[in-house]
Amino acid sequence: MQSLRDAISANGGTGKALWHFNFSELAAVKAAARLARESGRAIILGVSEGERDYVGVRVASALVASYRREGVPLYLNADHTKSFEKVRQAIEAGFDAVIFDGSALPFEENIAETKRVVEYARMANSAVVIEGEVGYIGVSSKVLDAVPEGIEKTTVEQAVRFVRETGVDMFAPAVGNIHGMLKGGHEPELDIALIRKIKDAVRIPLVLHGASGNTDADLRAAVGAGISLIHVNTELRVAWRKALNAAFAAHPDETTPYKLLIDAEDAVYAVMRAKAAL
Ligand code: G3H
Ligand code: ZN
């Protein structure tokens, strides 16, 4: 099976994005595997530091590897990794990609730390894909009452310098996207013109984080402007929770986990499939 790096290049001319879905339990993994198997398209599963602490770094890696051995094009990303040590753990465990997220650091420090991560990754495993991030889009994949304070878009100048000096494979800009999803809907619009300018300037695959709550039209426009990979988490979590609430209410005496979890898997799968159809 091709590496994630090759899957990203192969997807380049298709006019479609690759999709990244987070997980912290089996229903989402099974849903993503179902989608990858049925569509034949690469799907990236991600675990943030919190999700990784819960699932286990090696367990996550073994799980995805076991699907790959069966011919299912699933890949694994160490999402929003904030320390060098956790980057090292993920690469050692065999993750296909790592996001070093130094976006909370002062810009110069973010460049220096990301560069260090890229140098280490090249030495440890040349296949692993490294993503860097600049700007602020909030931190939580949850339902929000308001847009997080302090949102800061990435400038074209920052993007150019960051990509040139760090040598990252993929770049995650802040372009009006936010982590999480607003309670009343009305997610801020994506800055499509900024995506296009950054893409023209850096010419490497761009990643859109925080895609929960954005309209289909906005996401399609983002792909048209140069986004290669889209991250979704909160919408999956909401679908999971709603389906479990309904399953518990419908079967108050059921205690067999998989008989309840199958509804969550189906609900999460429906969200994933709708996104991948965009
Ligand atoms: O890295 C994870 C994603 O950016 C998820 O964002 O929860 O807004 O979908 P989201
Ligand atoms: Zn993210």
Closest-lying ligand 1 atom to the alpha carbon of residue 234:
7
pLDDT for res 115: 98
How distant, in Å, are the alpha carbons of 31, 32, 80, 198, 249 from that of 268?
Answer: 6, 9, 22, 32, 18
Looking at all shown ligands, the one closest to residue 140's CA atom is 1
The residues with which 230 forms a beta bridge, in sequence order, are 19, 208
* CATH assignment of the domain containing 224: 3.20.20.70
Q: Which atom of ligand 1 is nearest to the CA of 178?
A: 8
User: Is 67 domain-assigned?
Assistant: yes
Mean pLDDT (10-residue bins), the chain, 278 residues: 96 94 98 98 98 98 98 98 98 98 98 98 95 96 94 97 98 97 89 98 98 97 98 98 98 98 98 97
Residue 275 lies inside a defined structural domain of this protein: no
In a domain, 248, yes or no: no
Give the pLDDT confidence score for residue 13 in this predicted structure: 85
The pLDDT score that the predictor gives to residue 186 is 78
Full-model pTM:
0.97
Answer yes or no: is 241 within a domain: no
Asked whether residue 48 is domain-assigned, the answer is yes
Residue with tokens 């979590």, as numbered in its chain: 237
| Residue 276 forms part of a structural domain | no
What is the CA(50)–ligand 2 centre distance, in A?
A: 13
Residues 24-37 as b/e (b if ≥16 CB within 10 A, e otherwise) read bbbbbbbbbbbbbb
Instruction: Write down the pLDDT at residue 151.
Output: 94
Q: To which H or E segment does residue 229 belong?
A: strand 227-232
The predicted structure's pLDDT at residue 126: 86
User: Which position among 79, 101, 191, 263 bears the catalytic label?
Assistant: 79
Domain housing 28 = 4-234
Q: Contact 178/146 with Cβ under 8 angstroms?
A: no
Query: Would residue 249 count as lying in a domain?
Result: no
Q: Does 191 participate in catalysis according to the annotation? A: no
Q: What's the pLDDT score for residue 93?
A: 98
User: What's the number of domains the chain is made of?
Assistant: 1
pLDDT at 185: 75
In a domain, 259, yes or no: no
Does any ligand 1 atom lie closer than 6 A to the CB of residue 232?
A: yes
